[in-house]
Structure 1
């Protein structure tokens, strides 16, 4: 990225959990234990017969960027442009270095009025800063993804964004909820789950001010208490507006490694973290019917103090 025009900043939403954003590169792929033979960590977005892959930390960042586009009332095309940009600029990682004084997911430069280093290293701020400028580009939804990204970024490599178009469109479609069952993630076995309140706050932040979501929590019978844990795994049932159901379901997958989520159910389909067979992750499976508008999340047990 090279420069930006002087547009007002959108007030950013702070994720209270502290788990979904932060400075530096996520260590989401670090784990103890092994996967079954033939499996590898990561997430896949599938369109027709084509599947595209990202690492777990990249997928978390992609979910955040896509969720913010939805919160702002921007189309999935905006998320595609943003993801193509970050893939080229930082490989979808929040790096504290770059060309000249560029930093962060979008490699924005403090010297070109994008904000301070501290601000730019906040993924929520930097993504909103990108969208602020993109929203001012006339008819950006009708432009090629590469051209729209270049107008915002003014890169010295003006045609580089095009190479990431297919992957970015696939992940944007899944993560904005436009493609039901479009995201699948292969994760290591869960060693612990987050507190239900943490997951609830993070889910509220992902949806933002679009609509209030409520949730109830109870004990999951499918996750028995184990030595060294204080309780059985928790089951959270969210009431989610239908328009955002698959966005939230895929958000849960994208952040399952950080939050200790082991199962997600929505629209009569279930993703189970440990549903692996013959060297592959089974993905979303029909079954475990849910009430319309209900998203069910099951967490691993919380370790004892």
Structure 2
């Protein structure tokens, strides 16, 4: 293109009065027209040539249009920065995932069922009643507790055998005379001392409350040393006495015992009656 071309002149006039330092050093203008420039090499030469300037102007205008479109599109897009938006969305996704994981792994709390209050009848169970111990009879008629206990055994056995009250008085009076209501062992029978006893006598082989002799057929030493057995043996012998109920206490007792002192039993009748009355 010729330097006098109007388009070239126009471009030349629109250029700044002070071109870049690298161009100003090589340009020389004479009047209205630019002096011929020596041929240039390299990229700078290509950029400063007339066709290159036209292409450059065209390219710049195209780039400016693209930039304008990019600016318009950028202005139309949301103003939230992309990095912050991505971070916030990732945090929201993590929170949602953690909540779903908690719901999946953590079982729902189960409220404990209220413990029923025990009823008073359930908490306080009645203890099984222990069999009541028989009351020891209170001594009467000047007897000791041991004597009264032995008298109770004699009376209880007679009541169990359905012996009339007069027979109970005969039995108590007899025991008072024979042993003073103590359970005797015999010094003649050492075996008798192997069993519970309260005293030791020396009247042949007589043992127990009624001083019954094993040698006379009343029973074994072991049996006769038990007050209950001795009392039963006496009542059975009394039953065999015909008309014993019409006899005096002394006569009835002597009929059973056949003692060397038959009248000795009479002295105990009053006390025996008092004891039986206290026990029946």
Structure 1 length-normalised TM: 0.41
Query: Which has the larger helix fraction?
Result: 2
Bigger Rg, which one: 2
Structure 2 length-normalised TM: 0.45
